[in-house]
């Protein structure tokens, strides 16, 4: 083939692709300024608020003193990287509680004032001075939550620690993306997300139910590591004298015929065995027939503000019963 | 040289870009459904 022809073929392959990527990026940025697209928002979260942790058991944590508008709400981190106010290390007269968890505890897609953390803190404060420090970070599993507590939470000398457990907290510690920076490009995120969805639709790949259930099957390493992390946290509560409780949050796809009853029973059986008080919220949501009305968006099953309000209502007494200032009736 | 190629292949270029756009639109609508895959995150 003549060199001139080769140049022409290359031209016809490369130029339209580059042109399409540029036009697509411009169009998507315009479109997404008016619409929310879950995978793009999660990629933006990774780029704007997450950073490597020096602790490999934590993996990543939030950048301190950072802010971003994600899923249409402001997310701002304090000097410790928590989505919360700044608290002095030294404890004052208020009862101090620490919440551990993942994106649900963080309040993904929900304004801070609407999170269950904020609602529970307000309700407790109506009775007796209380402060809750929210250590929730997106994409965390139990190992990360517990080790973040050891790295950054224990110094606050809490009276109580509540770990909010979600079905995917038994996943292995997530690995760093092999392509850092790709999250900066909407067109790349769009194709990554949609091709993943296409693959799931056309192949025999497992759906979210089978994926989550598999985390608890046989010798699944993630669940074993979660159990080890729970034991570490229980031991720490005994050594440091704080009350430890666990709340199991439901998965919000099907609340009537809840598909993870067996997995929740495995978690609660284990917590009973290591003598940690727990509250399973899945039965409390059993009458919610329209599960999607509790989602933050159609493509994102994280709980919205109404779901956070329900979580706060159902959880309040369980958390407060450890406080002798709380009325017992 | 580039000018010459653009003029010569103007319609080819527009057709290929249009094809990419059509594939993107198909992908967008074909895979547009309530979340039915596990939560997945680009960590960073």
The pTM (predicted TM-score) of the whole model is 0.89
Determine, for residues B36 and A207 on separate chains, whether the beta-carbon distance falls below 8 Å. Answer: yes
Determine, for residues B43 and A175 on separate chains, whether the beta-carbon distance falls below 8 Å. Answer: yes
Give the integer Cα–Cα distance in Å for A310 and A281: 10
Write out the two tokens for A101. Answer: 């968890």
Pairing status of strand A278-280 against strand A243-248: parallel
* A168 vs B: CB within 8 A: yes
Specify the CATH architecture of the domain A38-320: 3-Layer(aba) Sandwich (3.40)
The whole-angstrom distance between B38's CA and the closest CA on chain A is: 4
> Is the CB of residue A212 less than 8 Å from the CB of residue A167?
yes
Give the integer Cα–Cα distance in Å for A147 and A284: 30
Determine, for residues A16 and B30 on separate chains, whether the beta-carbon distance falls below 8 Å. Answer: no
Scanning every residue of chain B, which has its alpha carbon at the shortest distance from the alpha carbon of A297?
A: B34
pLDDT tens series, chain A, 329 aa: 677 788 888 888 888 899 899 999 999 999 988 888 888 898 889 889 999 899 999 999 999 999 999 999 999 999 999 999 999 999 999 999 999 999 999 999 999 999 999 999 999 999 899 999 999 999 999 999 999 999 999 999 999 999 999 999 998 887 766 666 667 888 988 888 888 888 877 776 667 788 889 899 888 899 999 999 999 999 999 999 999 999 999 999 999 999 999 999 999 999 999 999 999 999 999 999 999 999 999 889 999 999 999 999 999 999 999 887 777 76
DSSP state of A190: H
Continuous segment of H or E residues that includes residue A78: none
Domain boundaries, chain A: 1-35, 38-320
From residue A280, give the alpha-carbon distance in Å to each of A28, A53, A249.
41, 31, 7
Which chain B residues are Cβ-neighbours of A176 within 8 angstroms? Answer: 43-44
């Amino acid at each position: 083939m003549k060199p001139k022809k080769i140049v022409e073929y290359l031209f016809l392959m490369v130029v339209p692709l580059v042109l399409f990527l540029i036009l697509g990026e411009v169009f998507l940025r315009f479109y997404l300024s008016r619409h929310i697209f879950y995978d793009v928002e999660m990629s933006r979260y990774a780029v704007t608020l997450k950073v490597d942790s020096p602790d490999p058991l934590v993996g990543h944590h939030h950048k301190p003193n950072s802010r971003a508008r994600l899923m249409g709400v402001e997310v701002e981190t304090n000097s410790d990287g928590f989505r919360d106010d700044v608290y002095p290390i030294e404890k004052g007269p208020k009862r101090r509680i620490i919440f551990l968890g993942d994106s649900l505890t963080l309040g993904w897609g929900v304004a801070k004032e609407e999170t269950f953390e904020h609602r529970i803190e307000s309700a407790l404060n109506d009775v007796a001075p209380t402060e809750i420090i929210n250590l929730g970070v997106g994409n965390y599993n139990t190992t990360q939550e517990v080790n973040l507590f050891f790295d950054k939470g224990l110094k606050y000398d809490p009276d109580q620690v509540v770990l909010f457990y979600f079905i995917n907290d038994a996943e292995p510690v997530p690995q760093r993306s092999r392509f850092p920076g790709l999250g900066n490009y909407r067109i790349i995120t769009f194709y990554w997300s949609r091709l993943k969805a296409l693959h799931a639709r056309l192949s025999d790949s497992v759906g979210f139910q089978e994926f989550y259930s598999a985390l608890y099957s046989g010798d699944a390493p993630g669940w074993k590591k979660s159990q080890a992390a729970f034991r570490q946290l229980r031991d720490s509560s005994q050594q440091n004298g704080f009350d430890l409780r666990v709340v199991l949050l439901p998965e919000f796809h099907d609340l009537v015929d809840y598909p993870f009853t067996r997995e929740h029973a495995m978690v609660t059986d284990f917590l009973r065995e290591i003598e940690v008080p727990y509250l399973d919220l899945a039965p409390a949501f059993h009458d919610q027939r329209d599960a999607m009305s509790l989602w933050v968006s159609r493509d994102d099953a994280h709980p919205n503000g109404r779901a956070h309000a329900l979580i706060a209502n159902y959880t309040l007494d369980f958390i407060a019963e450890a406080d002798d200032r709380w009325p017992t009736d | 040289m580039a000018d010459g190629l653009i003029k010569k292949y103007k319609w080819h270029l527009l057709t290929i870009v249009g094809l990419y756009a059509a594939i993107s639109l198909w992908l967008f609508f074909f895979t547009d459904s309530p979340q039915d895959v596990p939560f997945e995150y680009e960590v960073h």
